Amino acid sequence: MATNPNKAAGKKQLTAKERAKKQRKRVVLFLIEVLVLAVMVVVLVLTNKATQMGKVQINEEDLIFNEGVEESTTMQGYRNIALFGVDNISGEVPEGENGKARTDTIIIASINLDTKEVKLVSVYRDTYLNTGDDYYNKANSAYASGGYTQAINMLNTNLDLNITDFVTVGFKGMIDAVDALGGVYIDVDSAELQHINNYQISITDGIGTDYTPVTETGYQLLDGTQATAYCRIRYTAGDDFKRASRQREVIAAMAEAAKSASISTLNQTVDDVIPNVYTSLDVDEILSLMGDLASYSIVDNAGFPFEENITTGRIPDKGSCVIPVDLATNVTLLHEFLFNDAAYVVSDDIVEFSGEVESQTSPYLD
């Protein structure tokens, strides 16, 4: 049984059901903001459409936690949520509770339940990791192999985390959410300008819509298609690392726009967004806690593996991969970044996986 991060010494012992309900309510408050960012709140805030959303029930017996993680005091007072953006030519989330597609975006949203501060970590999609089944491949292959359950297990397995909730969105949902918010302000540089319209073409070809070209550099209002294309740019300096940074940048811009958006504004595109969201979160809880939206703030963000402990290599049958050097060190840095625990000691499982990543990749490092 997982440790309750909200329990303090000397307080009345709550039942497991009461602890879970209390914790989920606090988490849901955060998601009103950050999942708007990641596109989902457009659906979640609308009572008359709630039953059409892809609400799924995760069987927690299928989730993997490294030995000791559930009892660890490191994550007490925090909740971690997986945000997945799937790469599908139609722009929609694949149908079914375990619909499979590669994840173009993998973000961990970590919530400090006391301060309401939020940190975002992008797990680079090409990171060479244990995919949650003792097979080693790119991180984005986990969702393609086993849907959201395996993708969550991939994160828990490699990062010593306790994730049990997720939200998955297709990029068509991203487009509609940004448009519902009236667009987002982004500073487009000359290198990005060379690519953003090409990505708009590929997106609109897939979903059958038109686009408005971006013609100038500088700080400007981007519509949904433009912002989604901006998130997908990878052929500039920084490659996929910079793309993950752009994704977090757009999320932060959506956060600011969401704080001033009205329900009527969100309603404008709800019918288009609903088919593009799957989540384990309870809509009724989210709707009942709408009033606390402005209390949460994104205070920091990062990419995993960390810059000082990362390299790349072309692994046979896997292609170009991001290599954590070494995984155990990166996990220690992750727990320091997310939970302010500079003394974190990784689990024995992480030590094993770290050694396996090293042995499989060391002959091919750049």
SS3 state of residue 185? strand
**What CATH fold (topology level) applies to the domain 18-173+263-308?**
Nucleotidyltransferase; domain 5 (3.30.420)
Q: Enumerate the domain spans of the chain.
A: 18-173+263-308, 175-259
Convert the pLDDT of each residue in 316-352 to its tens digit.
999 999 999 999 999 999 999 999 999 999 999 999 9
Eight-state DSSP code of residue 15: P
Convert the pLDDT of each residue in 248-269 to its tens digit.
888 888 877 776 766 665 555 4
| Backbone angles phi and psi of 140, in degrees to 5 | -75, -10
Convert the pLDDT of each residue in 157-169 to its tens digit.
999 999 998 888 8
CA distance 161 to 330: 13
Q: Per the structure block, which two tokens stand in for 64?
A: 């993997």
Alpha-helical runs (H) found in the chain: 16-37, 41-44, 141-159, 171-180, 190-207, 224-232, 239-260, 263-267, 270-273, 283-288, 327-339, 348-361
CA distance 49 to 278: 14
| Backbone angles phi and psi of 64, in degrees to 5 | -105, 130
Q: Per the structure block, which two tokens stand in for 311?
A: 């390299």
Whole-Å CA distances, 167 to 11, 54, 279: 32, 10, 4
CA distance 151 to 145: 9
CATH architecture of 175-259: 3-Layer(aba) Sandwich (3.40)
Name the more confident of 133 and 53: 133
CA distance 114 to 357: 36
Name the pTM for this structure. Answer: 0.78
H or E element at residue 123:
strand 117-123
Is 44 a residue whose pLDDT tops 50?
no
Whole-Å CA distances, 303 to 23, 217, 258, 278: 27, 26, 24, 24
Average pLDDT (208-232) is 94
Name the more confident of 360 and 39: 360
Quick check: 46 and 267 in contact, CB under 8 A? Answer: yes
Quick check: 166 and 159 in contact, CB under 8 A? Answer: no
Quick check: 232 and 105 in contact, CB under 8 A? Answer: no
At residue 183, the pLDDT reads: 92
